[in-house]
Amino acid sequence: MTARKRTSSVAKSENPPPATKEHKPTVASGEDFSLAPPKLGVIFVISSLLCSLYLYLLCFHYNVDNELKRPILINAGLSLVGFFVTLKLIPVAARYVLRRNMFGFDINKRGTPQGEVKVPESLGIVVGIVFLIVAIIFQFFNFTEDSLWLVEYNAALASICFMILLGFVDDVLDVPWRVKLLLPSFATLPLLMAYAGHTTIVIPKPLVSYVGLEILDLGRIYKLYMALLAVFCTNSINIHAGLNGLEIGQTVVIAAAILIHNVMQIGASVDSELRQAHAFSIYLTQPLMATSLAMLAFNWYPSAVFVGDTYTVFAGMTMAVVGILGHFSETLLIFFLPQVLNFLLSLPQLAGIVKCPRHRLPKFDPATGLLTGTRDGTLVNVYLRIFGRKSEKSLCIHLLVFQALACAFCFLLRHFLAGWYK
């Protein structure tokens, strides 16, 4: 999350999440503003590492039916267009937000010349808008008026759009933290009302003899679970932050894992409904990843723009939606293992048991340019306390590698438990 500190209001302990910037009431016209060029070389390396396996599995390894492969490739083409559109719109939007005095200063560079640079914020709204446009245009190529998936697809887009709106409201109004926890609950209402899929869960084989059932129908409790999953995913991305590129970086790593998982399930399954559910997930994940990579080109260290809460809640909601409608919420939670760990570490402060400062960031040393972990309960600080001081860029890379290892662990776990667990 990227929180703000205004002179017109007193920072309260009920707003605990970490931040990379703080507000000052300096006026910025935006007329003489020049945004640093996008770091396309970094994006090429990251996208090559994350997308190569997915494309190989989709195009060569698995014999995916043309009925599924064609819309997936069309969606990929539209997502690529969305990547370039996002690249073009970010500098334009950056000037507009500066005119509205929406900028911040990077706290992790305080005491250096970079710490005095006005950084445009809330640019996640660009990613959200382009994502929605790509997802809506894609309907023309894939869904018909009588399509069984059309209602849920539009309900998913409505929930995501609702979350983008609430995230931008938070960026503008600085909503208290306890209120933020409830926002995803309202945003999931369109999806919950339109959801017509199964509400059953498969009982793990070792527990069947104790439960007496192989399949358990949860009914409305399943929809409550869906709402809670959306709340967790949305806020977990929001609080595991505080470094240039970390919010978007973790999103693209998880998105790549989701894509790989979906294409593996499509290739291995003979159930047409299950294959369609995983294809449905791909239709929303590819635009998310493409537009996020475009934003990462500007948000990678040193960050030229801040994404704001608009992006973090949008990304979390989108991944929750694809996990729910793709019927792999258990796998999604293992992909979110670093976020689960960060939440558990943060729980004493979030619950008010331990004093919680406004900014739960590492301590920056301007002389060395290194970050030192504080006693605050975040994965960022705990990692620094265990492995020692690091630069912001190095720390972000380490945490993203940890995220990738968590996703790899999920695939290994599924491989070894297949046939025994379920």
In contact, 1 and 239? CB cutoff 8 Å: yes
Burial zone of 422 (CB within 10 Å; 0-12 exposed, 13-18 middle, 19+ buried): middle
pLDDT in tens, 367-384: 999 999 999 999 999 999
Between helices 392-417 and 337-350, what is the axis angle to 10°? 120
pLDDT in tens, 96-115: 999 999 999 999 999 999 99
- Residue 422: which pLDDT band, with cuts at 50, 70 and 90? low
pLDDT of the residue at 135: 96
Alpha-carbon gap, residue 62 to 202, rounded angstroms: 26
- Residue 10: which pLDDT band, with cuts at 50, 70 and 90? very low
Query: How confident is the prediction for the chain on average, in pLDDT?
Result: 88
- Six-digit token string for 111: 């005491």
Using alpha carbons, list the distances in angstroms from residue 72 to 55, 132, 263, 276.
11, 17, 10, 11
In contact, 364 and 108? CB cutoff 8 Å: yes
CA dihedral over 55, 303, 178, 172, signed as positive or negative: negative
- Six-digit token string for 349: 């402060």
- Six-digit token string for 370: 């290194």
Alpha-carbon gap, residue 154 to 168, rounded angstroms: 21
Among 19-23, 40-44, 266-270, name the most confident range: 40-44
Alpha-carbon gap, residue 322 to 281, rounded angstroms: 5
pLDDT of the residue at 320: 95
Question: Got the DSSP string for 33-65?
Answer: --PPPP-HHHHHHHHHHHHHHHHHIIIIIS---
Least confident window among 52-66, 124-138, 209-223, 332-346: 209-223
Alpha-carbon gap, residue 166 to 156, rounded angstroms: 15
- Bridge partners of 103, per DSSP, are 120
Checking DSSP bridges between strand 103-106 and strand 215-217, what pairing results, if any? unpaired
Alpha-carbon gap, residue 362 to 398, rounded angstroms: 15
| Helix, strand, coil share (%) of the chain residues, nearest 5 | 65, 5, 30
pLDDT in tens, 46-58: 999 999 999 999 9
Alpha-carbon gap, residue 150 to 67, rounded angstroms: 17
Q: What is the CA radius of gyration of the chain?
A: 21
Alpha-carbon gap, residue 307 to 312, rounded angstroms: 8
132 CB neighbour count, 10 Å cutoff: 18
How much is the average pLDDT of 29-35? 68
Using alpha carbons, list the distances in angstroms from residue 296 to 23, 116, 157, 203, 253.
22, 21, 23, 40, 12
In contact, 23 and 186? CB cutoff 8 Å: no
pLDDT in tens, 139-193: 998 877 767 788 889 999 999 999 999 999 999 988 887 788 788 888 999 998 8
pLDDT of the residue at 237: 93
Using alpha carbons, list the distances in angstroms from residue 387 to 145, 397, 402.
56, 14, 13
- Residue 13: which pLDDT band, with cuts at 50, 70 and 90? very low
CA dihedral over 64, 66, 68, 72, signed as positive or negative: positive
If we measure between CA atoms, which residue out of 278, 272, 263, 398 comes closest to residue 328? 278
